[in-house]
Amino acid sequence: MRIMRLFIGCWLFLLILGQAWAGVLTKAELARRFPAPIVVGDKETDLPVWPLFRQNATATELVGYVFESVDLAPIPGFSGVPVNLLIAIDPKGSFLDVSVLSQHEPVFLDGLGEAPLFQFVKQYQGLSLKQNIAIDARKKRAPDATHADIDGVSKATASVRIINQSVLASALKVSRKKLGFAQGRDPDQIARIRMDVFEKLSAAQMLKQGLIQHVRLSNKDVETLFAGSPGAGLDVEATRAPDGVFIDLYLAYVSVPTVGRNLLTERSWNKLRNRLDEGDHAILVMSRGRYSVLGDDFVRGTVPDRLLLKQDGLPIDMRDLNLELRLSEETALPTENIAVFRIISQAGLDAASPLAFSLPITRNKGIVYPERIARNVDFSFRLPADFYSAPQGDDATWRGTWKNRKAELLTLLAGLALLAGALAWQKRLVREGRQFTWFRRLFLVFTSAFIGYYAQGQLSIVNITGVIQALLAGRSLGFFLFDPMTVILWAFVLLSLFIWGRGTFCGWLCPFGALQEFTGKLGQWLRLPQWKIKPRLDGRLKWIKYGLLAAILGSSMFSSQITDKLVELEPFKTAITLNFVRAWPFVAYAVGLLLLSSVSYKFFCRYLCPFGAALALLGRFRLFNWIPRRKECGTPCQTCRHRCEYHAIAPSGKVDYGECFQCMDCVVIYASDEKCAPLMLEIKRARTIPIVRATAEESSNAA
């Protein structure tokens, strides 16, 4: 308890002295990075940016602005320290340069190395804030005015999302303030479609209310567009039949329930809803005539080039859902050409703002190298206010990460619920020793395979040092929200600490701990000689992890560089996050600990793990002594003590919950009438008929 108070006191003292992070660049350093003919101006007073100029004859023209992301969007990474980026944008909102000034992301320090990070940020050069920048695009396309796909970094998905958020958030702040961008809205501060509103309407009524947009172009209308240009008179059919229908187009905001449920059959509406995530939008396109939005060479599932969408001047990406939908019989709308386009929630489409559509029409003149002449037919429509809700409060873009990992999170929650139920009703769990053994084995497989390798949910001392460094710098802890697995696991572990102690995580939910348990059991099965550590030495070795914890926490308050080195005492990043794909010293260390566990059961967990030490200290606030004990435990029975491979039971029979890993072997013994000596003796006594000396009267009566 004294150790815990000491740590808390140190943290509070240094929190008072902590100062916020700030940029590190100077004008001289920027001049070195942006040499002549570029001239670096003085730092602005209203915003921490430096203007960049170029002398053009007698005029001085603005080239752009350069700034540090930590000054404008200090979003902490997983070490608790923000990645600091140098960002330069031109007056049109295009990225001139993005480079890394400093970073403390664990995965890029001695793990993957910094090269993948440098390669990742280099992709922003030449891209524009007017483009929808997507990470980890499955089918990478050449960038255009609407979108740009950039490659992510394997094993660092959450980190690059945080970096991307830092780049865009800081650049948009500068663009709003200095460049007058109206489209730089927060994608979560937008109106949302009200899914609880439905009104029975006919197609005519929806057209009148603006829920369906109708555009009809005759051949004559299109010919008028090209009048006076090289494209005039090239369409022979239009000349021959000027009143003929070029395109009769209907656009419907079909993700609005009032529109979708009235236009589509019930089966088609349900099919559409199953293809849309929360916050997505869908536009139904119906047309007839000579010209189709899809075109003869259109590939299903791609972005159309004959129908474009913008909002506040910002291009919005629409993608074909490749979904066959049936209109209800009452609609009387064209069914010759039907397609539905999806707009993902991350695009930031505001349901309250007008949707500006463009219908490009192209004519070719010439045969060998034809000249392309294009004209646009622009139209828009706005969703009535009854069908959307205004934005409420401040929000953050981490929500998209949670939505994208919904299946993983539900799986994790199901696993945690199963574990909590099993531990809460431990009497049923340990009733059959063999069944308990298999339950534990299967759950540890779930922990290592799903939580560890698949979902990358290994909790670590880095989580704690990240919190400390963020609080010292006065920053938010919102960076955790970019990793929902960590948030949910921490919530469960903190709750379990106050109920059962540190053992719930260390014994059930630590992926590396599960690997150690498997190697330990394998070593026993192979009958490898086991290193039996004497109790006195065991007691001394257990203090090592507290010393390592103190060193790491102390360094996190003064030097993040030292902390980056010390946290490598944990093999979690090597074994779980990077799957042993790392420099050989780190791999040798992690593999060595696993091999050591095969002859000394979970050696690292018991003696070296600083994270386990932190949980042990927090577990001292445990509410229950949940391991059942009998008065004979320790006096005279020593069965559980000798069977405990963690040496967590004293000769007196008292359980040291700070060293208990909740393997529940002693609970199984307690409930077994074949293993628990006091219980076996109690049963034996109950079955024995006592012999009592007969009295003289009883003897005479018997005679």
Residue-wise pLDDT for 260-269, tens only, equals 999 999 999 9
Q: What is the model's pLDDT at position 558? A: 80
> Are the C-beta atoms of 665 and 643 separated by less than 8 Å?
yes
How far is Cα 116 from Cα 120, in angstroms, rounded to an integer? 6
How far is Cα 554 from Cα 10, in angstroms, rounded to an integer? 9
Continuous segment of H or E residues that includes residue 134: strand 132-135
Is residue 17 scored above 90 in pLDDT?
no
Q: What is the model's pLDDT at position 571? A: 92
Q: What is the model's pLDDT at position 1? A: 41
Is residue 301 scored above 90 in pLDDT?
no
Q: What is the model's pLDDT at position 88? A: 94
* Residue that has been written with the tokens 């891209």 in this structure: 127
How far is Cα 617 from Cα 609, in angstroms, rounded to an integer? 13
> Are the C-beta atoms of 571 and 582 separated by less than 8 Å?
no
Length of the chain (residues): 703
How much is the pTM?
A: 0.53
List the structure tokens of 255.
């993700």
What secondary structure, in 3-state letters, does 350-409 show? Answer: CCCCCEEEEEEEEEEECCCCCEEEEEEEEEEECCCHHHEECCCCCCCCCHHHHHHCHHHH
How far is Cα 218 from Cα 248, in angstroms, rounded to an integer? 8
Q: What is the model's pLDDT at position 511? A: 94
List the structure tokens of 357.
């559509």
The torsion angle over the Cα atoms of residues 448, 450, 455 and 457, rounded to 10 degrees, is -40
> Are the C-beta atoms of 577 and 512 separated by less than 8 Å?
no
The segment with the largest mean pLDDT, out of 71-80, 124-133, 178-187, 530-539, is 530-539
List the structure tokens of 240.
């021959």
> Are the C-beta atoms of 650 and 606 separated by less than 8 Å?
no
Q: What is the model's pLDDT at position 391? A: 61
> Are the C-beta atoms of 51 and 65 separated by less than 8 Å?
yes
Residue-wise pLDDT for 490-533, tens only, equals 999 999 998 888 888 999 999 999 999 999 999 999 999 988 88
Q: How far is CA 529 from CA 175, 526, 635, in A?
A: 67, 9, 30
Asked if residue 37 has a cis previous peptide bond (ω within 30° of 0), the answer is yes
**CA dihedral sign, ordered 389, 390, 392, 396:** positive
| CB neighbour list of residue 601: distance below 8 Å, 6 or more residues apart | 520, 530, 645, 646
User: What is the percent of the chain with per-residue pLDDT over 90, rounded to a whole number?
Assistant: 23
Residue 443, Cβ density class (10 Å: 0-12 exposed, 13-18 middle, ≥19 buried): middle
The average pLDDT across 156-169 equals 78
Between β-strands 132-135 and 147-150, what pairing exists: parallel, antiparallel or unpaired?
A: parallel
DSSP 45: S
Is residue 185 scored above 60 in pLDDT?
no
Q: What is the model's pLDDT at position 97? A: 93
> Are the C-beta atoms of 138 and 98 separated by less than 8 Å?
no
Taking phi over 0 as left and psi of -120 to 50 as alpha, with beta for the rest, 615 belongs to alpha
What secondary structure, in 3-state letters, does 606-667 show? Answer: HHHCHHHHHHHHHHHHCCCCCCCCCCCECCCECHHHHHCCCCCECCCCCECCCCCCCCCHHH
> Are the C-beta atoms of 476 and 400 separated by less than 8 Å?
no
Residue 385, Cβ density class (10 Å: 0-12 exposed, 13-18 middle, ≥19 buried): exposed
Within a 10 A sphere around the Cβ of 640, how many other Cβ atoms? 25
The average pLDDT across 341-345 equals 81
Strand pairing partners for 524? Answer: none
pLDDT bin (cut points 50, 70, 90) of residue 294 is confident
Q: In what order do the strands lie in the sheet with 319-320?
A: 212-218, 245-252, 281-288, 337-343, 319-320
* Residue that has been written with the tokens 């005759």 in this structure: 218
Residue-wise pLDDT for 683-694, tens only, equals 777 765 666 666
* Residue that has been written with the tokens 């000579």 in this structure: 290
Q: What is the model's pLDDT at position 552? A: 92
> Are the C-beta atoms of 634 and 666 separated by less than 8 Å?
no
What's the mean per-residue pLDDT of the chain?
A: 82
User: Apex CA 150: angle with CA 145 and CA 152, to 5°?
Assistant: 160
Continuous segment of H or E residues that includes residue 413: helix 406-424
Nearest alpha carbon to residue 510 among 599, 592, 655, 615: 615
pLDDT bin (cut points 50, 70, 90) of residue 410 is very high
Angle, helices 461-472/2-17, rounded to nearest 10 degrees: 40
Is residue 546 scored above 60 in pLDDT?
yes
Q: What is the model's pLDDT at position 13? A: 35
The torsion angle over the Cα atoms of residues 649, 655, 659 and 660, rounded to 10 degrees, is 100
What secondary structure, in 3-state letters, does 461-524 show? Answer: HHHHHHHHHHHHCCCCCHHHHHCHHHHHHHHHHHHHHHHCCCHHHHHHHCHHHHHHHHHHHHHH
Q: What is the model's pLDDT at position 596? A: 93
DSSP 567: G
Q: How far is CA 279 from CA 343, 359, 462, in A?
A: 9, 25, 33
The average pLDDT across 423-450 equals 88
| CB neighbour list of residue 274: distance below 8 Å, 6 or more residues apart | none
Q: Which of 81-95, 144-158, 233-247 has the lowest mean pLDDT?
A: 144-158
Taking phi over 0 as left and psi of -120 to 50 as alpha, with beta for the rest, 50 belongs to beta
Q: What is the DSSP string of 269-285?
A: HHHHHHH--TT-EEEEE
Residue-wise pLDDT for 60-105, tens only, equals 788 899 999 888 877 777 666 788 999 999 988 889 999 999 888 8
Residue-wise pLDDT for 614-631, tens only, equals 999 988 888 878 888 888
How far is Cα 515 from Cα 445, in angstroms, rounded to an integer? 9
- Name the 3-class secondary structure at 142: coil
Please list, residue by residue across 570-608, b when 16 or more beta carbons sit within 10 angstroms of its beta carbon and e when fewer do: bbbbbbbbbeeebeeebbeebbebbebbbebbbbbbbbb
The average pLDDT across 236-244 equals 86
